[in-house]
């Protein structure tokens, strides 16, 4: 796959870190808070991505409102980016086609890529689980992250995926979010987040990337360790 910005993914797949080698005066858009380290002549500017409405859309989906622009001023520089969760980073080159990415998976992209938020699923009654996707179009590089390792599955036919594990998929696939009754165990108030049985049914041909862990598993695990509110 071609790329415009030179990059290297280190410590894959557990704690992948993205190192971008920017040429002089090259700019890259980065998810807010992802910078780990950089050469001092790289300048940072934060912007509300895509105007106010789109920015709010991102906020609702759980992404932060802002995206930062990093430019290597005058000479080539290195920028190290780290996502918040342990996992992998994957590169994709958009060439006029469209890629759907799970909302919290965006890491970085070339300036020439357009990102749009779409709400796809249902808000689960008990868990608040819903399916938010970002639609990336245009021309350029895009990097997305996962929680856990990334497994690429070429789809040709009919496939069902739990929405919590979707990382990204090519727009050529038809998809539909549905509740699979046989998987839901929300009958009892067990206080567990997730477990709605919300799945995405894919049909057609295209590539799908899934991750090997799901964030609600971590959230439920951490819950008992949180400090309790004192009155």
Partner 1 sequence: MNVELLHQPDSAIARVTLKAGEELVAEAGCMIAMSGFINASTTLRQGKGGGIMGGLKRLVAGESLFLSVFRSPTAGGEVFLAPKLMGDILQYQMTGNGLVAQSTSYLASESDVDIELGFQGFKSLFSGESLFWLNISGVGSVLLTSFGGIYEVDVDGEYIVDTGHIVAFEKSLNFKITKAGSSWMGAFLGGEGLVCHFQGQGKVFCQTHNPGAFGSLVGSQLPPR
Partner 2 sequence: MKYEIRYKPAFAAIFVTLSPGESMTAEAGAMTSMDAQLSMKTKFSGGFFSGLLKKFFGGESLFVNVFTNQTKRTLNLVLTQSAIGDIGCIELRGEREICFQPGAYIAHSPGVKMSVQWAGFKSWLSGEGLFKLKLKGNGQVFFGAYGGITKKRINGEFIVDTSHLVAYEPGIKMNIGMAGGLIGSVTSGEGLINRLSGEGEIYLQSRSIGGLVKYLRPKVF
The binding site for partner 2 (CB under 8 A) comprises 10-11, 14-17, 32-33, 35-40, 42, 44-46, 62, 64-66, 68, 80, 82-86, 104, 128, 215-216, 218-219, 222-223, 226
Q: Pick what 177 binds: partner 1, partner 2, none; C-beta below 5 to 8 Å, kind-dependent.
A: none
Distance in angstroms (rounded) separating the CA atoms of residues 225 and 46: 34
**Closest alpha carbon to 66 in 48, 82, 53:** 48
Cβ-contact 10, 87 below 8 angstroms: no
Residue 10 C-beta: closest distance to partner 2, Å: 6
Q: Pick what 36 binds: partner 2, partner 1, none; C-beta below 5 to 8 Å, kind-dependent.
A: partner 2
Distance in angstroms (rounded) separating the CA atoms of residues 227 and 162: 31
Distance in angstroms (rounded) separating the CA atoms of residues 129 and 132: 10
Element (H, E) at 57: helix 51-60
Beta-carbon contacts of 211 under 8 Å, excluding residues fewer than 6 positions away, are 87, 88, 146, 147, 148, 149, 150, 151, 165, 166, 167
Q: Pick what 32 binds: partner 1, partner 2, none; C-beta below 5 to 8 Å, kind-dependent.
A: partner 2
Beta-carbon contacts of 204 under 8 Å, excluding residues fewer than 6 positions away, are 155, 172, 173, 174
Q: Does 112 bind partner 1 (CB under 8 A)?
A: no
Residue 95 C-beta: closest distance to partner 1, Å: 27
Q: Does 148 bind partner 1 (CB under 8 A)?
A: yes
Residue 182 C-beta: closest distance to partner 1, Å: 4
Distance in angstroms (rounded) separating the CA atoms of residues 36 and 28: 15
* Contacting range for partner 1; rule: CB under 8 A; set: 46-54, 69-77, 97-105, 194-202: 194-202
Q: Which residues pair with 89 in a beta bridge?
A: 145
Q: Pick what 225 binds: partner 2, partner 1, none; C-beta below 5 to 8 Å, kind-dependent.
A: partner 1
Q: What DSSP character marks residue 35?
A: E
Rounded (5°) CA angle 17-166-37: 15
Residue 174 C-beta: closest distance to partner 1, Å: 13
Distance in angstroms (rounded) separating the CA atoms of residues 17 and 103: 19
Residue 82 C-beta: closest distance to partner 2, Å: 5
Residue 64 C-beta: closest distance to partner 2, Å: 6
Contacting residue, 87, 121, 124, 206, with partner 1 by CB under 8 A: 87
Instruction: Give residues in contact with partner 1 (CB under 8 A).
Output: 13-14, 86-87, 148-149, 151, 153, 157-162, 165, 180, 182-185, 188, 190, 192, 194-195, 201, 210-214, 217-218, 220-230
């Amino acid at each position: 796959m071609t790329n415009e910005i030179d990059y290297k993914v280190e410590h894959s797949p557990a704690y992948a870190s993205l190192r971008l080698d920017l040429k002089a005066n090259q700019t890259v858009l980065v998810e807010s808070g992802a910078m780990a380290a950089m050469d001092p002549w790289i300048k940072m500017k934060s912007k509300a991505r895509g105007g106010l409405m789109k920015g709010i859309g991102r906020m609702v989906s759980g992404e932060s409102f802002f995206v930062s622009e990093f430019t290597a001023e005058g000479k080539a520089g290195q920028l190290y980016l780290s996502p918040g969760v342990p996992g992998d980073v994957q590169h994709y080159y958009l060439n006029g086609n469209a890629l759907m990415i799970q909302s919290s998976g965006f890491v970085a992209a070339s300036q020439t890529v357009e990102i749009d938020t779409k709400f796809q699923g249902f808000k689960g009654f008990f868990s608040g689980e819903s399916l938010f996707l970002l639609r990336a179009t245009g021309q350029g590089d895009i990097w997305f992250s996962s929680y856990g390792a990334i497994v690429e599955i070429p789809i040709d036919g009919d496939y069902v995926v739990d929405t919590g594990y979707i990382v990204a998929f090519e727009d050529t696939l038809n998809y539909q979010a549905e509740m699979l009754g046989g998987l839901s165990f929300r009958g009892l108030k067990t206080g567990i987040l997730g477990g709605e049985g919300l799945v995405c049914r894919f049909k057609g041909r295209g590539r799908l990337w899934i991750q090997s862990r799901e964030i609600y598993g971590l959230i439920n695990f951490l819950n008992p360790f949180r400090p309790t509110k004192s009155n």
